[in-house]
Amino acid sequence: MKCAVLLCATLTSTIAAVLAHPVADYVAFKNSVDVEQIHIAQASHAGGTGMTISWLSNKTSAGAVRYGKTSGTYAKKEAAPLGEQYSFQSQYIKELYTSGYIHHAQISELEPNTKYYYVCGDDSGGWSAEHSFTTLGASIQSDAYSFAVMGDLGQTNNSAATISHIIEGGYTYSLLVGDLSYADSAWKPGKFGPCTQTRWDSWGRFVEPLTANVPLMTLPGNHEVEQDGALPATQTQFLAYSKRMRMPAAYGEASLYYSFEAAGVHFVMLNSYMDYNKSSAQYAWLQRDLASVDRSTTPWIVAAMHAPWYNSNVKHHDEVEEYGMRAAMEDVLNAHHTDLVLAGHVHAYERMYNTYNNATNASGPVYINIGDAGNREGPCPDYLAQPAWSAYRESAFGHGVLTVTNATHMRWTWHKINNPEAQIGDDVWIVKRTAASKLAAMTGEGSIAVGIGANSASQFDGSPVSQRV
């Protein structure tokens, strides 16, 4: 599916502004209307029934969303709760930052597999340009459905190329596995200059051509913690992230970790930087959440966190958030036959075989590290000796695409930003055991199957030209 002409034209001008800017970080101009930084996310636990529309305004705390199924005709209106502001004190910058009014309007009772058009704002501050999104159902779709996946995005020229690729690909859902704006004050002034909360604002404007039209499901990374130094520095962790990003929350938990279902996939979005041990609320929630999944209607489980449990890159190797969380939670994911685990943090691409307990194992999920979306710290080119569980690795910026074909087949592809979007850098099928023999016959590549387990999925390379195992 190709992107709309208007959307592509908007992004083209955005990318041109980025590339013309003399520094690595993108700076955007504010809108003339008092509505900016629009982003949408699935609102409900099950797909197809709700969407949260978020935006910022500088003048008014009132706001609403007008929406409908026909362009230019908005039969329904949903008022947002009064917009909230937050203040943040960095230990490196004397000025107190205060945000604009942050609005979150939740639209419910949407029809699945339906395109909706909307505007947001209010009469006094003005209304946004028209945007649109397409809902989907919680169950397997009749046609193959693709999710764009990225990690460690930032707001550089490389980040812009990643956003451009994703819009060009026409994907209608996207995931970002942590490290969004890189606004955190934990970075001391130095190589990258002082980081400030205004970088959240420039990032919100930067990603709007994508996020105003494509739901972006996020989780926090280390750059979202944003607590550094003693008072008077702000002491609340995840303050900006939790105010700006409104994700669904199940079982009454905060949306700093959560799950949602879409197109036959149960996505589990974990937080590497909150307590995860076996006595923690997050651990108890994970057990409840996975136990609730009906695999007859939701055959796939995909877990995501920021800090990878398996990583052969020199950078971010064996950090406590990685081996500690894996020690606490790996058995839980394995017991519930998780199919795929996504992570970021390392600014390079790496795909693992089915892995469990630090070894290739038929019962374990496939692991993929995708923290290469373009952040300003650059790629991580240095690797340790390649472990047996590491299938393919490359230090290059790009993004992934997860395509759900049916209840037994998912396809994963990796796309580098220095190639056309249609060109694939890595390609693998993730296949349930019941269908593995059929896929082997179809591709003639049965010999490269990895650990065909009784319940979890295994992987086959997608095409002879990109064999990685």
Give the Å distances, CA to CA, from 307 to 270, 421, 433: 10, 27, 29
Report which secondary-structure segment, H or E, holds 429: strand 426-431
DSSP of 94-114:
SSPEE--EEEEEEEESPPTT-
* Residue 218 token pair: 């996020």
Place of tokens 């303050």: 239
Sheet holding 216-218, edge to edge: 216-218, 174-176, 145-150, 398-404, 409-416, 426-431, 458-461
What is the greatest pairwise CA distance in the chain? 65
The span from the CA of 347 to the CA of 190, in Å, is 20
- Cβ-count burial 146-178 (b if 16+ within 10 Å, e if not): bbbbbbbbbbbbbbbbbbbbbbbbbbbbbbbbb
Q: What are phi and psi of 372, to 5 degrees?
A: -125, 35
User: If phi over 0 gives left and psi between -120 and 50 gives alpha, with beta otherwise, what is residue 278?
Assistant: alpha
Which three-class secondary structure state does DSSP give residue 67?
strand
Which residues does 120 contact at the CB level (< 8 Å), separation at least 6?
Answer: 35, 38, 53, 55, 63, 64, 65, 66, 80, 103, 105, 127, 128
Q: Is 316 noted as a catalytic residue in this protein?
A: yes
User: Are 42 and 260 a contacting pair, CB within 8 Å?
Assistant: yes
Give whole-number Cα distances, 238 to 107, 244, 266, in Å.
Answer: 25, 10, 25
Tokens of 147: 């999710």
Kindly name the residue from 316, 337, 345, 347 that is annotated as catalytic.
Answer: 316
Q: Which of 215, 213, 263 is nearest to 46 (CA)?
A: 263
Question: For residue 82, how many other CB atoms are within 10 A of its CB?
Answer: 11
Helix then strand then coil, in percent of the chain rounded to 5, is 20, 30, 50
- 32 exposed, middle or buried (CB, 10 Å; 0-12, 13-18, 19+)? exposed
**Displacement of CA 39 from its chain's centroid (Å):** 13
Residues catalogued as catalytic: 316
